[in-house]
A and B are shown apart, each in its own frame.
Chain A
Amino acid sequence: MIEAITDSGERREMTINMGPQHPSTHGVLRLELVLDGEVVKHVKPHIGYLHRCFEKYAEQMDDYAKVIPYTDRMDYVSAMNQEHGYVLAVERMLELEVPERVEYIRVIMAELQRIASHLLGIGAFGLDLGAFTPFLYLFIEREKILDIFEKASGARLLYNYMAVAGLMRDVHPEFKDEVADFVKTFRPKIKELDDLLSYNKIFVRRTANIGVLPVKVALNYAASGPVLRGSGFKWDLRKNDPYSIYDRFDFDIPVGSGEMGSLGDCWDRYIVRVKEMEQSLRIIEQALDGMPDEGDVMAAIPKRIRPKEGELYVRTESPRGELGYYIVSDKSASPFRVKARAPSFVHLSMLPAISKGALIADIVAIVGSIDIVLGEVDR
């Protein structure tokens, strides 16, 4: 370091290590920054600090059901969505129909989880920019969702709630009322968030025109989810490739519009998440109306499931983007191969492309705006 100062201008660059124990790298991400003053010349993400061999573990399990708890632990802030993708994949392998009620409950859970995940993502993004208070306000709301989940599944974070062909257990009797209640109380909070953070001028100045991701680059990097939609591309697997019963619901796909700066900047990605929460509320309301009150939560399947030999790829829309499971079966009771396509990993790879010439503070904003979860990046 002393070199960098005293070399009288010959070496103007300074390499600095951001993470793995940095407050705003969302876990254990390490970024290698090459700085000129505070301007970032080059950024290189180093990953793998949280690698837990998800794929290898999945091959080791002697039952398809035993993989589900491990999918929870990939993206631990949206465990329901991870499970949903996996059970859908296995069910499609088995060519199984699940009861109506199960589908509805799954959709409600997945959408609640999407809201919870966005709440965390938005809050942490604000935290990265120095706004501590909105983070905790959002956590109060997230806590309410977790309470509903806890009552239904018994766990607060890693639910293992969806099972192949159904659910591990039925929801509690007050489930519908509680969810409806939450929907009602949550709407005003979005308004409050808009006032406190989204349209706060300082926040806008920190995020608009920063980390601009043109739609072309986004597509080239295979971005998906809010990151792609923030660049103005209307792409949502719930609409474009409907799975489960998403084709029954009426909702919009919010996209970024470059309202505050240029299209595809951090603010656009942020506001897409905020608007998506409203759409999720709409889906939940419709699902609550359509959900049958009585019914089984488990289709009849053999104790040990042995799918036909073959392979398939099933993709779902997780809060972070396209979450895909590629499963190969060799007709035994344990999967031959399970590969997860994790959106966070894909999005993190774009970081060098969109953060050239940014300041350190912008790097923090960009990392926050692509909303990665390191558990999913490293798996």
Chain B
Amino acid sequence: MTATREGATFASGTATDPAMAPHNMTLTLRIWRQRGPADKGRMVTYQVEDISPDMSFLEMLDVLNEKLILAGDDPVVFDHDCREGICGSCGLMINGTAHGRGTSGGPTTTCQLHMRKFKDGDTIDIEPWRATAFPVIKDLSVDRSALDRIIQSGGYISAPTGTAPEAHSILVPKKDSDAAFDAATCIGCGACVAACPNASSMLFTAAKVSHLGLLPQGQPERNERVVNMVAQQDREGFGGCTNIGECSAACPKGISMENISRLNHDLLGALRAGARPKS
């Protein structure tokens, strides 16, 4: 039984499958190559052939990298892991838009962008997130640890393990819990920063401030949270928010600008109440 299908597992949609072959594409890629933080970096042009429309964008880059490795060249470094749009690892500027929004027709993660959105003969520009707070590590991989430090500065509820009351002792209106969930779906990819002309992390921070601030459990630390997280953004070198909205338009999780209004409202309230950031 096993034998009858042995070998069939991977056989489909390849150049050897005549049904697929006519649709496969040849593309020109212009990719940002940078050896390390000290290197200036440059765009380098590559050709890739036989790209199936069913491939994901990252699978297309895999094809290129396999070729580069065999040729003894340095493969292109990019971050990725889950490849299903949830871990937030991937993030490329594709033809000048974060996660390739301009190509896909709507916000998505880079790993969920598929090659059927491109045409045979296209030239595609691929660059890293660009922001002072996201230094390039190599090629397309950047250091986003600044986002973790924003969470460290207050993006939590202090609930030491084992001290929690019975879950049903805290009632949360469905409306609030749904809104908190929507904000909590931010995957920390940094596309909002990359898309913002000011390289501001406001949408990311606002998503966490909203998530926790909308819940009864999040009230005790609400004022300190917002002032400290906002102060940390500044320390990390992110730009200020001028309400342009590019962040939300690029966000693969649909985090809305409403969250930024909530943050501003909370911040004002906190400052009025005398809350000041820890130095």
Asked if A pairs with B, the answer is no
